[in-house]
Structure 1
Amino acid sequence: MKILCLHGFRTSGSFLHKQISKWDPSIFAQFQMEFPDGMFPAGGKSDIEGIFPPPYFEWFQFNKEFTEYTNLEECIAYLCEYITTKGPFDGLLGFSQGATLSALLLGYQAQGKVLKEHPPMKLFVSISGSKFRDPSICDVAYKDPIKVRSVHFIGAKDWLRLPSEDLATAFDNPLIIRHPQGHTVPRLDEAATEQLRSWTTEILLHQSNNASVNKHNLENGEVKAEEHKGKVEEACKTQTPEGVIEKKMENGAGGLEATQA
């Protein structure tokens, strides 16, 4: 299964990959994960300067109240094109701005606003994500519970703890994994590791079962089609429309002449 992973504000795909690498590798061993960079170069200082090398990127820009956004529509169009041309993708994973953006795409897809030709996403991993606050966005993206299997990492010291709690309510039957850390991709203790591993394993089993059922149905359909085709061909050999074709023997030679009645 293929997962698109979106990094946080003014970081990079490489940095998110490094952040996720602190988790037990068995959790996502059966997944193909892609870590693209954001559309725009960082427009200001990055929090990871001196910790991880540049360049740094951002997906879109926003005001302090997070109620007005710049380049958001361009970003959505870019990601939809990316998902369509490099997919299909089975799910999204995001940290902070990347998680917020991922949830928006899932809500928009569920409402038929974007990715109409792309298969529905099956999973979402949110780390410190939040909702958009513009009512015109909220009224569409979070109109109904988003029926995508989701897990939400919420930190006790995260300045986005309450917005992360609120984002989880936008999803149908979300799994919430709490940790004592702040605004970061957390290191997972044994219990959290087992929770996440069980969650991904269940998704993989569900996907595998669906694939087996589809293969069985397809094979049965092909057998039935071949059987039907054989019956039609046999019928054509032995039956002729009454009153349309008349068979005549000529000169006792056994030749057949078809003439219209």
Structure 2
Amino acid sequence: MKFLCLHGYQQSAAIMQSETPFLKHIFEHALGEEVRLYYPSGPFPSTPTASNEPTYAWWPENSSSTDIHTFRYLSDILDEEGPFDGIIGFSQGGSVGSLIAALLERPKFARPANFTTRHGPLQLVISYSGYHEDDERLQKYYTQKIKTPIFHFISSTDPVMAEERCFRLVRRCEDPDDKVVVYTGSGFHRVPTTKITSQALSRFLVEVFG
């Protein structure tokens, strides 16, 4: 099985991979088979870290173009590196992953013109601190509720992402029942590593892939 892993804003594939090595173990233990996690970096350079490590974003900053390159970029990844069983996304990556799941449910005429992938619908999305995007160009993609099962991990103590914005994404899902875990985090904006969140993820994986 193969899953696409999308990092948060001002992060990178290398940063997310270094912070989530435990995910592969959880997935393989729950599913009973080998799992591959594919980590790409976003298409837009962002502010480097204090140690001058490059970081990226999934959406362009200060752009008025209606042709959002993100969709073309991810369309190519889906075709060239997929197929993927699902997406794991953190923060901005959770937002993007949820929108990609929504678009893959739609017929091609209802997608962005540059989202030309041949990839089929996903089986799930795991969203860590994922949220509803405010960009006006993206609002039309939230009009239909998302059918793909999305499991939401929301930190009540996240210093960066407010609970309410995460719950706005939850409300755009067709069946959010038993698919939301609100936890008390460590006061940092990152993928949780607690026993409770790990057990919840395992149960969800078994439920979907059973």
TM-score over 0.5 for the alignment? yes
- Asked if the contact 1:90–1:123 (Cα under 8 Å) also holds between the matched residues in 2, the reply is yes
Q: Which has the larger radius of gyration?
A: 1
Task: Look up the SS of the partner of 2:84 in the other structure.
Answer: coil
TM-score w.r.t. the length of structure 2 is 0.81
Alignment of 1:32-43 (within 5 A): 32-42=36-46
In the alignment, does 2:172 pair up with 1:170?
yes
Task: Give the Cα separation in 1 of the matches to 2:205 and 2:123.
Answer: 11
2:59 aligned residue: 60
- SS of 1:27's equivalent in the other structure is helix
Query: Number of residue pairs matched?
Result: 193
Task: Identify the match of residue 71 of structure 2 among 72, 76, 79.
Answer: 76
What aligned pairs does 1:241-260 form with structure 2 within 5 A after superposition? none
Asked if the contact 1:127–1:185 (Cα under 8 Å) also holds between the matched residues in 2, the reply is yes
Distance in 2 between the 1:7 and 1:104 partners? 15
1:145-192 CA-partner distances (Å, limit 9, x unpaired): 211111111001123221111111112223111121142111222x33
Do the aligned residues in 2 keep the contact of 1:62 with 1:69 (CA within 8 Å)?
no
Aligned to 2:135: 134
SS at match of 1:77: helix
**8 Å CA contact 2:104, 2:120 repeated in 1:** no
Give the CA deviation at 1:82: 1.1
Distance 1:176 1:32, change over 3 A: same
Q: 1:157 matched to which residue of 2?
A: 157
CA distance in 1, matches of 2:84, 2:126: 14
The alignment's C-alpha RMSD in Å is 2.3
Q: Within 5 Å, give how 1:1-261 maps onto structure 2.
A: 1-22=1-22, 25-29=24-28, 30=33, 31-42=35-46, 44-46=47-49, 49-50=50-51, 54-62=53-61, 73-112=68-107, 113=111, 114=115, 117-139=118-140, 141-158=141-158, 159-160=160-161, 161-174=163-176, 175-181=179-185, 182-189=188-195, 191-205=196-210
What is the distance in 2 between the residues matched to 1:132 and 1:15? Answer: 23
The answer on whether the counterparts of 2:155 and 2:184 sit within 8 Å (CA) in structure 1 is yes
Separation of aligned partners in 2, 1:109 and 1:115: 10
String of CA shifts for 1:67-117, please: whole Å, max 9, x gaps: x66697111101111101221111111111111111121222223314563
The 1:171–1:108 alpha-carbon spacing in structure 2 relative to 1, beyond 3 Å, is: same
Structure 1 runs (4+) deviating above 6 angstroms are 68-72
Aligned partners of 1:84 and 1:115 also within 8 Å: no
Mapped contact 2:132–2:168 kept (Cα < 8 A): yes
* Aligned-partner Cα distance in 2 for 1:16–1:152: 18
Higher RCO, 1 or 2 (CA under 8 Å, sep at least 6)?
2
**How far off is 1:11 after superposition?**
1.2
**Deviation of the 1:22 alpha carbon:** 4.4
Work out the CA distance in 1 between the residues paired with 2:40 and 2:154.
24
Q: Alpha carbons of 1:72 and 1:45: their partners in 2 closer, same or farther (altered >3 Å)? A: farther
In 1, Cα distance between equivalents of 2:53 and 2:89: 20
SS state at 1:18 partner: helix
Cα distance in 1 between the residues matched to 2:42 and 2:136: 25
- C-alpha distance in 1 between matches for 2:153 and 2:64: 25
Q: In structure 2, what is the Cα distance between the partners aligned to 1:72 and 1:157?
A: 35
Q: Give ranges in structure 2 of 5+ residues lacking alignment.
A: none
Q: Partner residue of 1:237? A: none
Q: After superposition, what is the alpha-carbon deviation per residue over 1:117-148, rounded to whole angstroms, capped at 9, x for unaligned?
A: 32111110111111122344222x22222111
